[in-house]
Amino acid sequence: MVALGFVLLFFLRRSPRSTASTLALVAIALAVNGWILRPYLPTGGLPVDACPAERQISVLIANVQLGNREARPLVEAVRRAEPDLFLAMETDAWWDEALKPLLASMPHALQRITGSYYGIHFVSRLPLVNGGIQHLANQDTPAIVTGVTLRTGEVVDFIGIHPKPPQTWQSARGRDAQLYAAANVLRTRVEPGILAGDLNATPWEIAVERMRRLSGLIDPRRGYGYVATWNANRWWMRWPLDHVFHEGGFATVSVERLEAFGSDHFPYLVRLCREAGGGSKASPQQDVSDVAEANAVLAAAGATERPGSR
């Protein structure tokens, strides 16, 4: 919103005679942005007054920024927050060593070092079930796909992804295909799931909204605030690009952005409660056009995944 203001002031200075029309455009832009951001006003959402410890699960994610060598502030933040699951992105061999102290309390781990911006590390306080690294939608960006055993003994699914951002010289097809492939994984599993990562997309982007509809994912941000996570180095231009979504059967306890640690992303922490009697997840209400569009994008990306109508 601040960036929008700077742009509008620039045009006002260059074209003083068009002040009235510019102000009209400002009003329209503010109305559109207000409508988009309305669900993210901090109204308190659905607070959980009392969630038994055995039903709680917390997820912390952080894009460490490849080349950043400020590991200590992040490791200390993880220790203070004591998340059950921690997903780190843009990690390399240096970060592999820097994160090893966390294994003392979070011994269950999956990782893939790529030598690029898409290295990924995942450590868990809770036991993992059939965990592994997958390349969703035939993309070269590794994803975490695993079951997680809660303290109650129930298993839930977890997917951690970091799709490539769309660039001026390339389309968003690869990113969108990976989002739809992740949605397809959740659709085909019986257990309720959590999807997390730096999606290189805001929650109101069409592809993210379609992914959520395809899989029935819920955004904990709604009712808890905008919670921008990027860019930590630019106070005047910040967007929510890091996400933790969940399927039905969970309630949001808290949503929090932690302190900057040297990366251009802030760490993002979401605490959830697995609701008693939550049972199996409900089938998402899908639009035929969503399925068709997702399948078209997946086909164009050379992916084998294909969401089907239910």
Cα 122 to Cα 102: distance, rounded to the nearest angstrom: 11
Q: If we measure between CA atoms, which residue out of 210, 195, 207, 274 comes closest to residue 242?
A: 195
Q: Please tell me the least confidently modeled range out of 209-218, 221-230, 233-242, 244-253.
A: 221-230
Q: If we measure between CA atoms, which residue out of 74, 69, 76 comes closest to residue 87?
A: 74
Query: What single letter denotes the amino acid at residue 130?
Result: N
Listed in sequence order, the residues at least 6 apart from 6 whose beta carbon sits closer than 8 Å to its beta carbon are 236
Whether pLDDT at 36 is above 90: no
| Residues in a beta bridge with 143 | 134
Query: What single letter denotes the amino acid at residue 269?
Result: L
Q: Check if the beta carbon of residue 260 is closer than 8 Å to that of residue 271.
A: no
Whether pLDDT at 90 is above 70: yes
Buried b (16+ CB within 10 A) or exposed e, 94-122: ebeebbeebeeebebbbbbbeeebbbbbb
Whether pLDDT at 168 is above 60: yes
Instruction: Pick 7 or 197 by higher pLDDT.
Output: 197
| pLDDT value at residue 1 | 46
Q: pLDDT grade, residue 104 (50/70/90)? A: very high
Q: pLDDT grade, residue 9 (50/70/90)? A: very low
User: Of the CATH numbers 2.40.50.140, 3.60.10.10, 3.20.10.10, 3.40.5.10, which one belongs to the domain with range 54-298?
Assistant: 3.60.10.10
Q: pLDDT grade, residue 21 (50/70/90)? A: low
| pLDDT value at residue 170 | 76
Q: pLDDT grade, residue 276 (50/70/90)? A: confident
